[in-house]
A and B are shown apart, each in its own frame.
Chain A
Amino acid sequence: MGLTVKLRKDTGKFLLDVVWEMGNEILVLFGHSGSGKSMTLQLMAGLMEPDEGYINSNGRVFYDNAKGINIRPQERRFGYAFQDRVLFPHMTVRENIFYGLLRSKRDGREEKVRHMLEVFHLEEIENKRPSEISGGQKQRVTLARALIGRPEALLLDEPFSALDNTLRIEMRQLVMRIKKEFDIPIVLVTHDILEAYTMADKVALYVGGLVAQTGTPGEIFYTPSSPDVDFYLALNFPFLANQYQK
């Protein structure tokens, strides 16, 4: 069960070489912008092709260069919430969520949409266009749309970075509820240390296209695996350094 990812991609300017695995939990990809976190999600979703590696979700292989497997993004069924909230501007909230369902699965589509509108508290704005709703509401619609098709995993690319603090706390709680209700792997990309610390079951620390360390937030932040990680954390998050350097 869960998700195993090993990816290598050389764009000429940047080399990404990462490997990690996870169960039905929240894995936070944590690191600076430009460390390859978002790129990892794009490669997983199939929007970009890796040079080598594999992606295995619950025993299903989505990508494996050794076996020549590269499943199209349409069939990978990862729920993907992009960094910029990308709702379809010409559809209402309701239509956006409905669009997350495939035409081939006809039964109970109305009820599914109704259920998502309830879970994400969107009933009152269901007929509004994305341009008429707030940032927090847009993010909830994005999540509802990504989840309605019952994806294999949820990929969240800095989903709350544009929201204010109160909303961010609300959204974090929402993601925790999603984890409980949907019981799927959730990959959360962030460069916000508080977000990483409070939400993660597991953290993969990204440094310059490599995973420097994986572990629980406690392990990462209090027992860095190598002098490099230690140095990186102390350099970038000095307030943490005070806590573990007794």
Chain B
Amino acid sequence: MDSSIIFSLRLSFQVALISTLFVAAVGIWVSYVLARKDFRGRELVDILFTLPLVLPPTVTGYYLIVLFGRNGILGSYLYDLTGWSIMFTWYAAALASFVVSLPLMIKTTRAAFESIDRNLIDASYTLGHSEFVTFLRVVLPLAKKGIIAGAILSFARALGEFGATLMVAGNIPGKTNTMPITIYSLANSGEWSQANFLVIFFTVMSALFLFAANRFSKRIL
């Protein structure tokens, strides 16, 4: 196999792995707050985090540029401070994957948290355990399957992220060309045999991820 294809495979997994680690950490926290806390604007927060699921990837990518671009709202500070910009690096690909796959994690995990019997949590409180201990010893173990399913789905989604990634990380061979972007380039330049291989590889792998996610959770979206 072509070494550039090996590179893009490796890059995709690297990006998806990093993205999923952050998705899991942020997603568990956000879903817990959404599931358990009653506050003003809760549904607004949910909608905000879910938007990337339905927005055109180019729109999500556009927002990321506005936020993190060299002249962006946050990116300009970073650039002034360090002379570095996240744009057109593999970090940007990870960031795009993070934003796009986070909704899947939140949807799945929130459902798992909400399905836990409120009485179990109350029982833990009346036994003298703090909210944090209750979270660790009761909530997390009982939501474990949903969390794992959410992480698998997010990983699969991160691997397949294309649109937003293209806008913020570009298509730089040997630097930011993840698998979906490589497939796009191959198809563009008519290299069908290599494209076929990657497409089939991708399809089989994604199906396996969905199978794994379904085994952990009966209710996926």
A interface residues, Cβ below 8 angstroms from B: 45-47, 72-80, 82, 84, 86, 88-90, 99-100, 102-103, 145-146, 149
CB–CB B122/A102 < 8 A? no
CB–CB A75/B128 < 8 A? yes
Bound-state CA distance A78–B119 (Å) is: 15
Bound-state CA distance A76–B117 (Å) is: 22
Least Cβ–Cβ distance between A155 and chain B, in angstroms: 8
Q: In the complex, given contacts A47-B125, A86-B120, A149-B128, what are 7 additional A-B residue pairs having Cβ atoms less than 8 angstroms apart?
A: A74-B126, A78-B126, A79-B126, A82-B122, A82-B123, A86-B117, A102-B128
A residues within 8 A CB of B125?
A: 46-47, 72-74
Q: Is the interface of B mostly helix, strand, loop or mixed?
A: helix
B interface residues, Cβ below 8 angstroms from A: 117, 119-120, 122-130, 133, 137-138, 141-142
CB–CB B126/A88 < 8 A? no
Q: 6 A-B Cβ contacts within 8 A?
A: A47-B125, A47-B126, A74-B128, A99-B137, A100-B127, A103-B133
Q: Which residue of B lies closest to A48 (CB)?
A: B122
User: Which of the residues B123, B129, B137, B141 comes within 8 Å of A86, measured between beta carbons?
Assistant: B123
CB–CB B138/A88 < 8 A? yes
Q: Is the interface of A mostly helix, strand, loop or mixed?
A: loop
B residues within 8 A CB of A76?
A: 126
CB–CB B123/A102 < 8 A? no
- Listed from nearest, the 6 A-B pairs whose CB atoms lie closest are A80-B126, A73-B125, A86-B119, A90-B141, A86-B123, A74-B128
CB–CB B141/A80 < 8 A? no
B residues within 8 A CB of A74?
A: 125-126, 128-130
B residues within 8 A CB of A82?
A: 119, 122-123
Q: If the complex has contacts A88-B138, A90-B142, A99-B137, are A80 and B123 also in contact, measured as CB distance less than 8 A?
A: yes
B residues within 8 A CB of A72?
A: 125
A residues within 8 A CB of B128?
A: 74-75, 77, 102, 149
A residues within 8 A CB of B126?
A: 45-47, 73-74, 76, 78-80, 146
Q: Which residue of A lies closest to B137 (CB)?
A: A99
Bound-state CA distance A44–B193 (Å) is: 71
CB–CB B141/A47 < 8 A? no
Bound-state CA distance A52–B126 (Å) is: 21
A residues within 8 A CB of B133?
A: 103
B residues within 8 A CB of A46?
A: 125-126
CB–CB A73/B122 < 8 A? yes
A residues within 8 A CB of B120?
A: 86, 88
Bound-state CA distance A78–B137 (Å) is: 20
Q: Which residue of A lies closest to B123 (CB)?
A: A86
B residues within 8 A CB of A73?
A: 122, 125-126
Least Cβ–Cβ distance between A46 and chain B, in angstroms: 8
Bound-state CA distance A100–B124 (Å) is: 8
Bound-state CA distance A26–B124 (Å) is: 24
A residues within 8 A CB of B119?
A: 82, 84, 86
CB–CB A149/B127 < 8 A? yes
Least Cβ–Cβ distance between A71 and chain B, in angstroms: 12
Bound-state CA distance A212–B126 (Å) is: 29
Bound-state CA distance A84–B129 (Å) is: 20
A residues within 8 A CB of B129?
A: 74, 99, 102
